[in-house]
Chain A
Amino acid sequence: MSPVPAGPLPDPAAMLRLLPVPTLEVDDEAGDDLRRIELRRAILDIAEVSHKQEAEAVRDVVERFRRAAGR
């Protein structure tokens, strides 16, 4: 019975290949911070668009229509 060949000796580079590939994991809180300063995600926040503000905008328009109708 011949001995099983041991194969090449793993070198440090081979050992490093055994480690998982690094992955990017951003936790929720940090992700929220990123989104907060991301312009595209903050369009309505920056513009301060709220239901109340929208209702006021509608009232302005309605007021103009009524004034025009009353002339």
Chain B
Amino acid sequence: MARLLPRTLIAAGLVAGLAMLAAVPAGGAPAPPGPTVQLAPGTSVPPGRYEVVLRGGGREITTTATVVAATPSPPAPPEPPSDTVTPLVIVALALLLLGIAGYLVNVNVRVPVLRSRRYEDLVRSLADGSYPDAVAGLTRLEADLPRRIQTRARFHICFGLYQMGEFDEAEFRLTTLHREEPADTEVAYLLAYLRVKRRDHDGAAPVLAAMEDAGRLDVAHARRLYGVVLFQQATQAVTDGRIEAAAELFDHVERLGDFRDRVPVDLRSRHVVIGARALLDRDLPAARDQFTELERSTSDPDLRASAKIGQALTAWLENRPGTGKEMVQLLTECLRLLNPDEPLRRVWPGPPDGDPATQLEALAGESARPEVERDLRQTMRDLHLLRSLALMRLWAERDVDANTDAGHFVAACAQRFACAVGSIADPYLVVGLLRYHLAGGSPEGRQQAHAELHAAHTLGVRIPEVLHILREDDAQRRRLDDYTTFLHQLATGAPGTRRPGRPPSRGRFGRVPDQDSAADVEAATRPPPTVAELSERAELLAARVRTLGHDLGPEFAMAAAAAEQLAQANALLARQAKTVADGETALLALIGGQLLPDGKEPRE
């Protein structure tokens, strides 16, 4: 309106001026007309002054008249306006006024209305998703719009550009608009939203911070958007090692509220974050200070549990005499805080049955749980494992009573480690090794220990001790199998002889088919025994003879003597084999290099 008024005034002044100009006569004020004397045709009077007598109506008037000499006539005076010209001027003036009025109406009323309608159509088409057309139209129209609408039009252009993926141009325009209209919260939100889309969280943060300062985080999803920005900044701070900054940012995320659940429990407190970093850096006094301060300052059960975890880990890493008891106590309190109903010992479940279907089912059931629940279960298992190890360390610190039953000790440990059983190998490894060393004397104990260590191996344990135990056990089983086969061969005849079986049946065409016995196949495919295998068999036979002992009756002495002879023969064979191997080595050392073709290196 402020812009329209001066234009109207100027136009009105123009019209008034034109009207005044039109009303003024061109030659100035007209001279009053003098008396005229009409002479008779053909008469003339020389110039001069004459006495004139006028008679008529019974009256006679005497006066003087001057006849002017005929001189070159001066420029003819303008003709006075005649009565016929005046109406034309009025009509022209009216037409002019009408035209000016029409122009003014067009400029000040019709065109703005049309532009406003066009603007509204374009905004509606923008809302309907016709972004390119709407942006093009609004861009053409923007400069001609009133300022108030112009700002909105510029916002809509930016919105359309964003939707079209023209992020560079949209951000440039939005930045300018935001600078001009810092109080426009919709512009600010769109700018922040665009920057978040471009993962420019540092660019979005000040825009949203200003909105927060102005108390305008209620615009659209501004509070949530700010939460995203702060969370991402906190994550980046963690990656960069700026732990204190990360703690502060996570604290802000917590206050905003939208992503409170996404903030890891241990990152909710500056003490936990800094304490954890101190533990990782092995700065144990600093870690202890942080966790002690946290325990003193918070009543939140989760954070109190974190404080106890931190203190227990500090004690574990300090590993001073006497810290075992403190650790066990802290971890027990921590487990109670996290789940008061969780037992601290369970029946040892033994190794999994190895059925893939059952294991898959268990894994599927575990992965179907909510992430928070899965995390808590994993934390509890880790705490149980650490507590069980701490207990073991504590018991090992004390003097073991000579009367302590090893089997009971293993069972007590297994009950604690049972709480840590999950998808990790550690409980099976520790219990299996304990049982192998302390309770593996009996065949049952040894078998169970082997099963537990086998489970640990399946779950990823590859330490040499376990591999050695499992290999030793496998070798023992293989030797027993070989021994059984050997005995069977002795009982059924020499290898290569046919074993009694079904009588050969006639074939379809009356021909008796050849029938290879198992022994034939074995003789054809099995390589001759090695010296080591012969030696092992001899040891097995001797051991078996000793085990059977006097159960063999009168043949025991002969069997024992035969076994001794066999052992001696094998020992001789082993010595001879070693002599052969040494000779081979000496020969190779002497001429080995010349055995290769010229210029060729052995392949690796």
Contact = CB atoms under 8 A, between A and B. Distances in A.
Contact of B123 (A10, A55, A60): A10
A19 B193 contact: yes
Nearest to B264: A38
Contacts of A33: 235, 238-239
B434 A69 contact: no
B85 interface: no
Nearest to B266: A39
Contact of B238 (A22, A34, A58): A34
B438 interface: yes
Given A39-B266, A40-B265, A51-B426, A34 B224 contact: no
Contact of B276 (A13, A18, A38): A38
Contacts of B425: 51
A69 B402 contact: yes
Nearest to B393: A57
B279 interface: yes
Given A40-B382, A54-B430, A67-B400, 6 more contacts: A15-B186, A24-B262, A39-B310, A41-B378, A51-B425, A52-B463
A31 B492 CA distance: 68
Interface of B: 120, 123-124, 126-127, 152, 155-156, 159, 186-187, 189-190, 193, 196, 219-221, 224-225, 227-228, 231-232, 235-236, 238-239, 243, 259, 262, 264-267, 272-273, 275-277, 279-280, 306, 309-310, 313, 316-317, 375, 378-379, 382-383, 385-386, 389, 392-393, 395-396, 399-402, 404, 406, 409, 425-426, 429-430, 433-434, 437-438, 456, 461-463, 465-466
A1 interface: no
Contact of B235 (A16, A26, A39): A26
A68 B127 contact: no
A15 B232 CA distance: 26
A64 B396 contact: yes
18 contacts: A13-B186, A16-B219, A19-B193, A22-B221, A30-B232, A30-B236, A34-B235, A37-B276, A37-B277, A38-B276, A39-B266, A51-B462, A54-B433, A55-B466, A58-B392, A60-B393, A61-B395, A65-B404
Nearest to A23: B228
Interface of A: 6-7, 9-19, 21-24, 26, 29-31, 33-35, 37-44, 46-49, 51-52, 54-55, 57-58, 60-62, 64-65, 67-69, 71
Contacts of B123: 9-10
B235 A54 contact: no
Contact of B273 (A37, A43, A54, A69): A37
Nearest to A61: B396
Contact of A43 (B236, B313, B395, B433): B313
B190 A39 contact: no
Given A22-B221, A43-B313, A60-B396, A55 B429 contact: yes
Nearest to B382: A43
A39 B275 contact: yes
A69 to B, nearest CB: 6
Nearest to B243: A37
A62 B400 contact: no
A39 B220 contact: no
Given A30-B235, A58-B437, A42 B276 contact: yes
Nearest to A12: B186
A66 to B, nearest CB: 9
B438 to A, nearest CB: 6
